Amino acid sequence: MQVLPAPTFVDIVDAAARLEGVAHRTPVLTSSIANERTGASIFFKCENFQRMGAFKFRGAYNAVSHFDYVQRNAGVLTYSSGNHAQAIALSARLAGIHATVIMPHDAPAAKIAGAQSCGAEVIIYDRYKEVREEIGLRLAEERGMTLIPPYDHPHVIAGQGTAVRELIEESGPLDVLFVCLGGGGLLAGCALAAAELSPGCKVIGVEPEAGNDGQQSMARGEIVHIEVPHTIADGAAATHLGLYTFPIMQRLVETVVTVTDAQLIETMRFFAQRMKMVVEPTGCLAAAALMSGVVPVEGKRVGVIVSGGNVDLSRYAQFLA
């Protein structure tokens, strides 16, 4: 298999050119209530308004856009708890190639339906019993398809980094940037962009308390593997960081903090009531950490990535009730 070099800021600029006119340039929103509560100037980069409802379209489309003729003919394969699967499905449809996605049995129905509606073949697996990486590698070999994993891939990381390039173009320099993490693809890409465009900006990773492998990995200096975490943040349920994402985090991320499911629900309510936005639990991680005050931000210019908005409406109603 081809081994690609680690991504750099140049790859983010290249990805931005490939995404131009294809991905949405999502809005950067402000909220006077958020500013009052924190004593800071907050800039929310709203990727819940991205195509397919999450930032994942950026990395997925960037990766597929690099395919050569042979790869295009065989198609793209991936595994994902949902949003990356949908993003690959849409990217493949736009590129006119076949997509197969491996999704967990308990993925939100809206995410499974989203992938199917783009014409992707969906294969369901049990995430408490089977290892998705193994299923993926086996299918890739059998079918000759190119596997694009959800976070540990240079083109995926570079694509995700375009979100912060757009954010800083609009907000100007930032003092602090909060980014959620599962496997760290978004965080690594955003950290690369921030380091270049707003040197000195402190990048804070945020993950669910129940799945703090990122925090443990940063503390120990090696990738820590955990059991599949039980959290409502289904998009951040990765059990370990990646070989590409972790070294970038070690170099460019200040610290990783955690928030509880209860804090996520409170933040979901904040977004619904005050900012009139539907944000999925995982998409609330970064804002929840900001609001919790675990990192001092008073008087600072602060970026917050709102990573996605795909949530089953019946579950959403329960969260808000």
Which residues sit at the interface with ligand PLP, rule CB under 6 A?
54, 56, 83-84, 150-151, 180-187, 235-236, 238, 280, 282-283, 307-308
User: b/e string for 217-249 if b means 16 or more Cβ within 10 A?
Assistant: bbeeeebbeeeebebbbbbbbbbbbbebbbebb
Instruction: Take residue 202 and report the two structure tokens written for it.
Output: 């402190």
Please state the separation of Cα 48 from the chain's center in Å. Answer: 11
- Residue number, 186 or 277, with CB nearest to ligand PLP: 186
- The CA distance from 188 to 250, in Å, is 9
Q: Which residue has the tokens 């990727």?
A: 47
Nearest approach in angstroms of CB 144 to ligand PLP is 26
Among the listed residues 41, 65, 80, 81, the single catalytic one is: 81
Closer Cβ to ligand PLP, 42 or 248, answer by number: 248
Q: Which is nearer to ligand PLP, 41 or 110 (CB)?
A: 110
Is the CB of 154 or the CB of 183 nearer to ligand PLP? 183
Amino acid at 167: L
Q: Decide if 56 is catalytic.
A: yes
Closest residue to ligand PLP, judged by C-beta, is 308
Nearest to 148 by CA among 101, 104, 216, 199: 101
DSSP states along 144-190: TPEE--SSSSHHHHHHHHHHHHHHHHHH-S-SEEEEE-SSSHHHHHH
Relative to beta strand 121-125, strand 99-104 is parallel
Question: Shortest approach of ligand PLP to residue 88 CB, angstroms?
Answer: 12
Instruction: Given the residues 45, 56, 111, 202, select the one marked as catalytic.
Output: 56
**129 part of the active site:** no
Nearer Cβ to ligand PLP, position 54 or 110? 54
Quick check: 107 and 81 in contact, CB under 8 A? yes
Q: How far is the CB of 113 from ligand PLP (least distance, A)?
A: 16
Instruction: Report the catalytic residues.
Output: 56, 81
